[in-house]
Amino acid sequence: MLCLSIVTCSFAQNQSQVKVDIIKKSNGEEIKVKIIRITDAEVSFIYTGETAEYVIKKADISQIVHSSGRLETFSSMGTPANTRQADQITMSATPADHHNKIAIIPFTYLMDNQPGAAAIGLKAQQDAYSLLGQHSAGYKIIDPRTTNAALIQAGVTPEKMMGFTMKNLCDILGVEYIIDGTVTQNKGYSTSTTSTNEDTKIKRNDADKVKGISNSGSSYSSAAQRYDISVSLQIYMDNNASIYNASHKAFLSSTDGSYSAPLEYLLKRCPLYRR
Protein backbone atom coordinates (compact mmCIF):
# COMPACT_ATOMS: atom_id res chain seq x y z
CA MET A 1 0.00 0.00 0.00
CA LEU A 2 2.85 2.33 0.87
CA CYS A 3 4.54 1.67 -2.51
CA LEU A 4 1.24 2.23 -4.33
CA SER A 5 0.77 5.55 -2.52
CA ILE A 6 4.25 6.73 -3.47
CA VAL A 7 3.75 5.78 -7.14
CA THR A 8 0.33 7.49 -7.28
CA CYS A 9 1.67 10.63 -5.65
CA SER A 10 4.64 10.74 -8.01
CA PHE A 11 2.37 10.29 -11.05
CA ALA A 12 0.10 13.12 -9.89
CA GLN A 13 3.07 15.44 -9.44
CA ASN A 14 4.37 14.64 -12.92
CA GLN A 15 0.94 15.29 -14.39
CA SER A 16 0.74 18.67 -12.67
CA GLN A 17 4.15 19.61 -14.08
CA VAL A 18 3.20 18.82 -17.68
CA LYS A 19 3.17 22.08 -19.62
CA VAL A 20 0.31 22.69 -22.01
CA ASP A 21 -0.49 25.11 -24.79
CA ILE A 22 -3.47 27.40 -24.23
CA ILE A 23 -5.68 28.38 -27.17
CA LYS A 24 -7.78 31.48 -26.52
CA LYS A 25 -10.74 31.57 -28.87
CA SER A 26 -12.35 34.73 -30.22
CA ASN A 27 -15.50 34.03 -28.17
CA GLY A 28 -13.50 34.12 -24.92
CA GLU A 29 -13.23 30.35 -24.42
CA GLU A 30 -9.84 28.89 -23.44
CA ILE A 31 -8.74 25.31 -24.08
CA LYS A 32 -5.60 23.61 -22.75
CA VAL A 33 -4.07 21.31 -25.34
CA LYS A 34 -0.87 20.15 -27.01
CA ILE A 35 -0.46 21.79 -30.42
CA ILE A 36 0.68 19.41 -33.16
CA ARG A 37 1.00 21.75 -36.13
CA ILE A 38 0.07 25.22 -37.40
CA THR A 39 -0.72 25.82 -41.07
CA ASP A 40 -1.67 28.97 -42.96
CA ALA A 41 -5.34 28.57 -42.06
CA GLU A 42 -5.64 26.01 -39.22
CA VAL A 43 -4.20 24.78 -35.93
CA SER A 44 -4.13 21.04 -35.13
CA PHE A 45 -4.01 19.83 -31.51
CA ILE A 46 -4.76 16.97 -29.09
CA TYR A 47 -6.16 17.09 -25.59
CA THR A 48 -3.91 16.03 -22.72
CA GLY A 49 -3.98 12.26 -22.24
CA GLU A 50 -5.75 11.66 -25.55
CA THR A 51 -4.60 10.73 -29.05
CA ALA A 52 -7.45 12.03 -31.21
CA GLU A 53 -6.40 15.01 -33.29
CA TYR A 54 -8.62 18.10 -33.57
CA VAL A 55 -8.47 21.11 -35.91
CA ILE A 56 -9.53 24.72 -35.32
CA LYS A 57 -9.49 27.56 -37.83
CA LYS A 58 -7.19 30.49 -37.17
CA ALA A 59 -10.16 32.77 -37.83
CA ASP A 60 -11.67 31.50 -34.56
CA ILE A 61 -8.51 32.12 -32.49
CA SER A 62 -7.52 35.38 -30.82
CA GLN A 63 -4.32 34.20 -29.13
CA ILE A 64 -2.15 31.15 -28.37
CA VAL A 65 -0.06 30.91 -25.20
CA HIS A 66 2.59 28.30 -25.95
CA SER A 67 3.96 26.09 -23.20
CA SER A 68 7.28 27.94 -23.59
CA GLY A 69 5.56 31.21 -22.67
CA ARG A 70 5.65 32.63 -26.19
CA LEU A 71 2.52 34.46 -27.36
CA GLU A 72 1.00 34.43 -30.83
CA THR A 73 -1.73 36.95 -31.48
CA PHE A 74 -4.07 36.45 -34.41
CA SER A 75 -6.04 39.11 -36.23
CA SER A 76 -9.80 38.86 -36.28
CA MET A 77 -12.16 40.61 -38.70
CA GLY A 78 -15.90 40.98 -38.69
CA THR A 79 -16.50 39.10 -41.93
CA PRO A 80 -17.59 35.45 -41.89
CA ALA A 81 -14.71 33.02 -41.44
CA ASN A 82 -15.56 31.02 -44.56
CA THR A 83 -15.14 34.12 -46.74
CA ARG A 84 -11.77 35.15 -45.34
CA GLN A 85 -8.33 34.20 -46.51
CA ALA A 86 -5.64 32.94 -44.15
CA ASP A 87 -5.08 35.39 -41.33
CA GLN A 88 -1.64 36.76 -40.70
CA ILE A 89 0.12 35.70 -37.48
CA THR A 90 1.83 38.41 -35.53
CA MET A 91 4.73 37.46 -33.28
CA SER A 92 6.38 40.81 -32.62
CA ALA A 93 6.44 42.34 -29.17
CA THR A 94 4.32 45.36 -30.12
CA PRO A 95 1.30 46.88 -28.36
CA ALA A 96 -1.73 44.64 -28.83
CA ASP A 97 -3.81 47.41 -30.40
CA HIS A 98 -1.18 47.86 -33.14
CA HIS A 99 -1.30 44.28 -34.39
CA ASN A 100 -2.06 43.84 -38.10
CA LYS A 101 -3.02 47.49 -38.59
CA ILE A 102 -1.68 49.36 -41.62
CA ALA A 103 -1.40 53.07 -42.37
CA ILE A 104 -0.45 54.55 -45.73
CA ILE A 105 1.14 57.96 -45.41
CA PRO A 106 0.98 60.58 -48.23
CA PHE A 107 3.31 59.73 -51.10
CA THR A 108 6.14 62.01 -52.16
CA TYR A 109 5.75 63.34 -55.70
CA LEU A 110 8.82 64.38 -57.70
CA MET A 111 8.69 66.13 -61.07
CA ASP A 112 12.07 66.07 -62.83
CA ASN A 113 13.62 65.23 -59.44
CA GLN A 114 12.12 68.34 -57.82
CA PRO A 115 9.24 68.42 -55.27
CA GLY A 116 5.94 68.43 -57.14
CA ALA A 117 2.30 69.05 -56.34
CA ALA A 118 1.23 67.65 -52.96
CA ALA A 119 -2.18 66.80 -54.42
CA ILE A 120 -0.64 64.05 -56.55
CA GLY A 121 0.99 62.51 -53.46
CA LEU A 122 -2.39 62.49 -51.71
CA LYS A 123 -4.02 60.94 -54.79
CA ALA A 124 -1.37 58.19 -54.86
CA GLN A 125 -2.02 57.55 -51.14
CA GLN A 126 -5.74 57.14 -51.83
CA ASP A 127 -5.11 54.89 -54.83
CA ALA A 128 -2.80 52.65 -52.80
CA TYR A 129 -5.47 52.41 -50.08
CA SER A 130 -8.12 51.43 -52.65
CA LEU A 131 -5.93 48.80 -54.32
CA LEU A 132 -4.63 47.19 -51.14
CA GLY A 133 -8.01 47.41 -49.40
CA GLN A 134 -9.41 44.82 -51.78
CA HIS A 135 -6.66 42.33 -50.88
CA SER A 136 -5.96 42.78 -47.19
CA ALA A 137 -7.64 39.82 -45.45
CA GLY A 138 -6.38 39.63 -41.89
CA TYR A 139 -5.33 43.29 -41.81
CA LYS A 140 -7.08 46.53 -41.00
CA ILE A 141 -6.07 49.49 -43.17
CA ILE A 142 -6.59 52.95 -41.68
CA ASP A 143 -8.34 55.21 -44.20
CA PRO A 144 -6.20 58.11 -45.53
CA ARG A 145 -8.39 60.85 -44.06
CA THR A 146 -7.99 59.43 -40.54
CA THR A 147 -4.26 58.92 -41.10
CA ASN A 148 -3.69 62.46 -42.37
CA ALA A 149 -5.74 64.02 -39.58
CA ALA A 150 -3.75 62.14 -36.92
CA LEU A 151 -0.46 63.27 -38.52
CA ILE A 152 -1.54 66.91 -38.64
CA GLN A 153 -2.76 66.85 -35.03
CA ALA A 154 0.61 65.41 -33.95
CA GLY A 155 2.49 68.13 -35.83
CA VAL A 156 3.84 65.76 -38.48
CA THR A 157 3.87 68.06 -41.51
CA PRO A 158 5.64 67.24 -44.79
CA GLU A 159 8.42 69.64 -43.80
CA LYS A 160 8.94 67.92 -40.43
CA MET A 161 8.35 64.32 -41.58
CA MET A 162 12.06 63.50 -41.66
CA GLY A 163 12.30 64.31 -37.94
CA PHE A 164 10.16 61.27 -37.04
CA THR A 165 11.21 57.62 -37.11
CA MET A 166 8.84 55.01 -38.47
CA LYS A 167 8.34 53.78 -34.91
CA ASN A 168 7.30 57.33 -33.94
CA LEU A 169 4.78 57.40 -36.78
CA CYS A 170 3.46 53.92 -35.92
CA ASP A 171 2.90 55.04 -32.32
CA ILE A 172 1.12 58.20 -33.46
CA LEU A 173 -1.12 56.29 -35.87
CA GLY A 174 -1.56 53.18 -33.68
CA VAL A 175 -0.44 50.75 -36.37
CA GLU A 176 2.06 47.94 -36.84
CA TYR A 177 2.93 48.69 -40.47
CA ILE A 178 3.48 51.91 -42.41
CA ILE A 179 3.54 52.12 -46.19
CA ASP A 180 5.55 54.99 -47.66
CA GLY A 181 5.92 55.69 -51.36
CA THR A 182 7.32 58.02 -54.00
CA VAL A 183 6.01 58.79 -57.48
CA THR A 184 8.68 60.11 -59.86
CA GLN A 185 7.77 61.74 -63.17
CA ASN A 186 10.46 62.84 -65.62
CA LYS A 187 10.03 64.44 -69.01
CA GLY A 188 10.75 62.01 -71.80
CA TYR A 189 10.64 62.58 -75.53
CA SER A 190 8.12 64.76 -77.35
CA THR A 191 6.01 63.69 -80.30
CA SER A 192 4.46 65.91 -82.97
CA THR A 193 2.21 65.24 -85.96
CA THR A 194 1.19 67.38 -88.90
CA SER A 195 -1.59 66.64 -91.39
CA THR A 196 -2.57 68.57 -94.51
CA ASN A 197 -5.84 68.45 -96.48
CA GLU A 198 -6.16 69.90 -99.99
CA ASP A 199 -9.32 70.32 -102.05
CA THR A 200 -9.35 71.17 -105.78
CA LYS A 201 -12.56 72.29 -107.56
CA ILE A 202 -13.01 72.59 -111.34
CA LYS A 203 -15.71 74.87 -112.78
CA ARG A 204 -17.21 74.05 -116.23
CA ASN A 205 -19.64 75.85 -118.55
CA ASP A 206 -22.68 74.40 -120.28
CA ALA A 207 -20.50 73.01 -123.01
CA ASP A 208 -18.54 71.18 -120.35
CA LYS A 209 -15.51 73.34 -120.98
CA VAL A 210 -13.25 74.25 -118.07
CA LYS A 211 -13.95 77.79 -116.89
CA GLY A 212 -11.62 77.83 -113.92
CA ILE A 213 -9.86 75.88 -111.18
CA SER A 214 -9.86 76.73 -107.47
CA ASN A 215 -7.70 75.19 -104.74
CA SER A 216 -8.21 75.18 -100.97
CA GLY A 217 -6.36 73.46 -98.20
CA SER A 218 -5.85 73.20 -94.46
CA SER A 219 -3.16 71.86 -92.15
CA TYR A 220 -3.26 70.63 -88.55
CA SER A 221 -0.36 70.21 -86.15
CA SER A 222 -0.21 68.68 -82.68
CA ALA A 223 2.53 68.02 -80.14
CA ALA A 224 2.55 65.81 -77.04
CA GLN A 225 5.00 65.61 -74.18
CA ARG A 226 5.65 62.07 -72.94
CA TYR A 227 6.72 61.21 -69.40
CA ASP A 228 8.71 58.41 -67.80
CA ILE A 229 6.95 57.27 -64.61
CA SER A 230 8.32 55.19 -61.76
CA VAL A 231 7.05 54.32 -58.27
CA SER A 232 9.01 53.22 -55.22
CA LEU A 233 7.40 51.59 -52.19
CA GLN A 234 8.71 50.97 -48.67
CA ILE A 235 7.01 49.14 -45.81
CA TYR A 236 8.18 49.51 -42.20
CA MET A 237 7.20 47.86 -38.92
CA ASP A 238 6.74 49.61 -35.59
CA ASN A 239 10.24 48.55 -34.51
CA ASN A 240 11.73 50.57 -37.43
CA ALA A 241 12.46 47.40 -39.41
CA SER A 242 12.10 47.67 -43.18
CA ILE A 243 10.33 44.61 -44.59
CA TYR A 244 9.87 45.74 -48.20
CA ASN A 245 11.73 48.16 -50.45
CA ALA A 246 11.18 48.05 -54.20
CA SER A 247 10.84 50.29 -57.25
CA HIS A 248 9.19 49.77 -60.62
CA LYS A 249 9.16 51.84 -63.79
CA ALA A 250 6.24 51.97 -66.18
CA PHE A 251 7.00 49.87 -69.24
CA LEU A 252 5.83 52.59 -71.64
CA SER A 253 6.08 56.34 -71.29
CA SER A 254 2.76 58.15 -71.18
CA THR A 255 1.28 61.53 -71.96
CA ASP A 256 -0.96 61.68 -68.90
CA GLY A 257 1.63 60.78 -66.25
CA SER A 258 -0.33 57.76 -64.99
CA TYR A 259 1.42 55.82 -62.19
CA SER A 260 -1.32 53.18 -61.70
CA ALA A 261 0.48 50.30 -63.44
CA PRO A 262 3.78 50.45 -61.47
CA LEU A 263 1.91 51.09 -58.20
CA GLU A 264 -0.29 48.03 -58.70
CA TYR A 265 2.76 45.96 -59.71
CA LEU A 266 4.53 46.77 -56.42
CA LEU A 267 1.50 46.31 -54.18
CA LYS A 268 0.77 42.86 -55.61
CA ARG A 269 4.27 41.76 -54.64
CA CYS A 270 4.45 43.27 -51.17
CA PRO A 271 4.16 41.02 -48.06
CA LEU A 272 0.86 42.62 -46.97
CA TYR A 273 -1.01 41.75 -50.18
CA ARG A 274 -3.48 38.86 -50.08
CA ARG A 275 -4.80 37.37 -53.33
Q: Once rounded to an integer, what is the mean pLDDT over residues 258-272?
A: 91
89 or 194, which is more confident:
194
Looking at the chain, which residues constitute the CATH 2.30.30 domain(s)? 20-91
pLDDT at 7 over 80: no
Q: Where in the chain is the domain with CATH 3.40.50.10610?
A: 101-187+224-268
Domain 20-91 belongs to what topology? SH3 type barrels. (2.30.30)
Q: Distance between CA atoms of 185 and 66, rounded to whole angstroms? A: 50
Q: Give the percent of the chain with pLDDT over 90.
A: 37
Question: Which CATH architecture describes the domain 101-187+224-268?
Answer: 3-Layer(aba) Sandwich (3.40)
Residues forming a β-bridge with 65: 22, 71
pTM of the entire predicted model: 0.55
